[in-house]
Every structure is written in structure tokens, then in C-alpha cells.
Amino acid sequence: LGVRPPGYKPTSLDYLAYESRRDEFLLSSRGRAARFAGGIVGRLASEGTDDELAARGPSDEIFDDGVRFWDGQSQTAYWDDALTLEEIHLICGVYVKDSTESDGWQKKEISWWPKPAAFFHSGLNIGWWSPDCERWFQKRLREIKQN
């Protein structure tokens, strides 16, 4: 989502701009990969995709940005879409905040939502999207929108 200047404070309008960019991406053929990513990425993707998109099957980019499943022995391998790091960052609302110090440029990644690794290691991650996860999600969403 770009670089923000020192002292930048996000607003609810910034969040609406993020949602617009995220949802535009999720309507592309790559939205299916996001929907099936699970965790926080999958939950965010459910805001901008529908079941019809998910049922379409892998995108045309499957061999460029996909993942191969192969048991190492059989002649058959299966492919599915996988998200790039940039796509994951877009979905989670990551932007870079310039925290310039007198000795040079420093950057800090900030996001509207936790990146997958942070969510994975949180106490909310129990292997599926639980009612506790949804309560946390809805509470966070209210906080963001109330700013």
C-alpha cells in the first residue's frame, strides 16, 4: 500500500481506500487463492469474494505463481494457486512507515491486519476459524471503522 511519512496516523478513510484496493484484487482470478489460504488471509478474502469464484478452479497463472503437490513417487502431480508475498501484504493491508532517524532512512511495516505468521503464532490460531477468531475480527473491524 505504499510508503507513509513519519508521524503518519491512519484514518477510517485510509481503511476504506485499503478495502477498495483489496476487494478489487480479490475479484481477480487470484481471489480464489486468497479464499483458500485459510487463517486471517482467508477470512479477509471472504469479505471480497464469493463461492462462485472459489468454485471456478485454479487460475491461468497456476504454473507461474502456483504450488505443486506431488508425493515424489507417482507420475501425477497436482497444482493449485498460491499467493505471492506482495499479494498477502495487499490483503493484510501492509504499508511501510518511514521512521527516518538522523543517521539514515529506516522503515517499519505496519498493517491493518496481522500478517499470516503473526496470526499463526497467536493464541487464536487453533487450526480453523473459530467463533473466538470471528469475535476478535469483528471487534477489530469496529475499532478500525470508529477510528
Reference 111, options 16, 37, 10; nearest CA is 10
pTM attached to this predicted model: 0.84
Is 69 among the domain residues?
Answer: no
Note whether residue 77 is domain-resident: no
Mean pLDDT split into 10-residue runs, the chain, 147 residues: 81 92 92 92 90 77 77 83 92 86 70 96 94 97 89
Query: Would residue 73 count as lying in a domain?
Result: no
Number of domains in the chain: 1
Residue at 78 is within a domain: no
The pLDDT assigned to 67 comes to: 80
Give the residue numbers spanning the domain of 9.
3-54+85-146
Backbone angles phi, psi at 78, to 5 degrees: -115, 145
Instruction: Confirm whether 61 is domain-assigned.
Output: no
Instruction: Establish if 74 belongs to a structural domain.
Output: no
Output the pLDDT for position 104: 59
Specify if 37 maps to a domain: yes
Q: Give the 3-state DSSP-derived string for 33-70, with helices as H, strands as E and coil as C.
A: HHHCCCHHHHHHHCCCCCHHHHHCCCCCCHHHHEEEEC
Is 94 within the bounds of a domain? Answer: yes
